[in-house]
Amino acid sequence: MYVSNCKLVDLPKIHDFRGNLTFVQPDDVIQFDIARVYYLYDVPSGATRGGHGHKNLQQLIIALSGSFNVVLNDGTDTQVFQLNRPNVGLYVCPMIWRELDNFSSGAVCLSIVSLSYDESDYYRDFDEYLQAMRELRNG
């Protein structure tokens, strides 16, 4: 529920003379079952993606190519992660507002998520999100 619950995770990297291979499977790397995968690419320079929170969705974000920043906010704390390695993922727990920016040319952002696409799981309005977080914090 809080930025402090979000963290970078090292993914396995199998290296040999043919190149590197990384895989993600639900075990000790991610604790959720994978329901969907989507990816952002051809992001124009200066564009911002995200700009929303999720009620229940958990997510692992990976820079498959290039780099970008992920800004996480829980209404109190903000943390910026730069992702630039295909064998490092950023786990994002539910109820976190996220924005992605500073995309390099050719960046590909892979998202591995716990739920099918469902617009009712989104907070698209920051004030509505902040109000929900206040209610959560106040029990």
Cβ proximity to ligand TYD, 18 vs 54, nearer residue: 54
Q: By the 8 A CB rule, do 28 and 60 touch?
A: no
User: What is the rounded distance in angstroms from the CA atom of residue 138 to the CA atom of residue 63?
Assistant: 36
Q: Are 86 and 135 in contact (CB under 8 A)?
A: no
CB nearer to ligand TYD: pick between 52 and 85? 52
Nearest approach in angstroms of CB 52 to ligand TYD is 6
- Positions touching ligand TYD (CB under 6 A) are 36, 38, 40, 49-50, 52, 117
Beta carbons within 10 angstroms of residue 80's beta carbon: 12
Cβ-based nearer residue to ligand TYD, 49 or 55: 49
> Whole-number minimum distance, CB 127 to ligand TYD, in Å?
18
Task: Give the DSSP H or E segment for 127.
Answer: helix 126-137
Residue whose CB is less far from ligand TYD, 20 or 82: 82
Q: How far is the CB of 18 from ligand TYD (least distance, A)?
A: 32
Tokens 């809080």, residue located: 2
Q: Which two tokens stand for residue 68?
A: 């970008």
Please, what is the minimum distance in Å from the beta carbon of residue 99 to ligand TYD?
Answer: 9
- Of residues 115, 108, 130, the one with CA closest to residue 52: 130
8 Å CB contact between 49 and 42: no
